[in-house]
Amino acid sequence: MALFVDGPACTIDDLTDQDAGLLDVALGTNINVSRKMRLAVEEIGTDLKLWLNRPRPVLELPWGPALHLSHIVVTPPLKRWEVMHSLALVYRDAYFSQLVDRYQAKWQQYANLATDARENFIASGFGLVSDPVLQATPPILSETPGPQPGGTFYACVTWVNRENQEGAASDPVSLAVPDGNLMTVAVSNPPANVAGFNVFAGTTLAAMLMQNDVLLPVNATFLYVPGQMTAGRLPGKGQEPDFMRPITRMTLRG
């Protein structure tokens, strides 16, 4: 699972699964759906911060130090909240842009569904990790002489912490390599808590398999040899929660 701070956990495909006409509406009203998804994450993040920062009951204090947004894992209820809130924002802007009644109805429908999703998230609680591993930045691809035919190759990387927990994969990048050369993969700006990285590469986006047998040091440069690794796994989805924390509904007395 991705971390909340990695960015929108939902995709445009997730939104169109809920609303098949979304892209036509966005095109007709000049709405950038990706921006609305990012805005939804920002607004949800404000709620999450309030819950994390509120005073905790005495029985919760032994659970450890204060938590931050970076510790939150995107569980299915949280992802659904992102999807519904994103759709509500799109149709809100569509309505105010065109003043079309059907857009207002859609806005209200998705706003209500976002409220329901928020309540489901509250009921399920936070999914949290103790040592968050951020999504990796895209790798640096280069070429070096090697006795292989060329081609277009794809790669992504993941960070791994000292507990062998793997973060979400970076966005994939590609490199056109001429004949007589091989592709190299390197990383930059590693977080302080990571022990190394994994490389996933292949000749298509759908078949980027893990290439390294052991964890690579952050200062290593990996040499990708097409066809050398045929049984590696595909990139994972990121960290699973280490534990769940209830979201306590409480009223402070003055």
pLDDT band at residue 144, thresholds of 50, 70 and 90?
A: very high
Residue 62 has pLDDT above 50, yes or no: no
- Mean pLDDT taken over the chain: 92
- Is 228 in contact with 182 (CB distance < 8 Å)? no
- Give me the mean pLDDT over the 120-130 stretch: 95
Q: What is the CA radius of gyration of the chain?
A: 22
* Residues 140-224, CATH architecture: Sandwich (2.60)
pLDDT band at residue 168, thresholds of 50, 70 and 90?
A: very high
Token pair of 33, please?
């759906």
Which residues does residue 143 pair with via DSSP β-bridges, in sequence order? Answer: 183
pTM exceeding the 0.85 threshold for the entire prediction: yes
- Reduced 3-state DSSP string for 31-93: CCHHHHHHHHHHHHHHHHHHHHHCCCCHHHHHHCCCCCHHHEECCHHHHHHHHHHHHHHHHHH
Q: Spell out the domain ranges in the chain.
A: 4-128, 140-224
pLDDT for res 56? 58
pLDDT for res 252? 41
Token pair of 223, please?
């040499």
Residues 71-84 pLDDT 10s = 999 999 999 999 99
* Start-end of H helices in the chain: 12-18, 22-29, 33-53, 76-98, 101-124
- Give me the mean pLDDT over the 227-233 stretch: 84
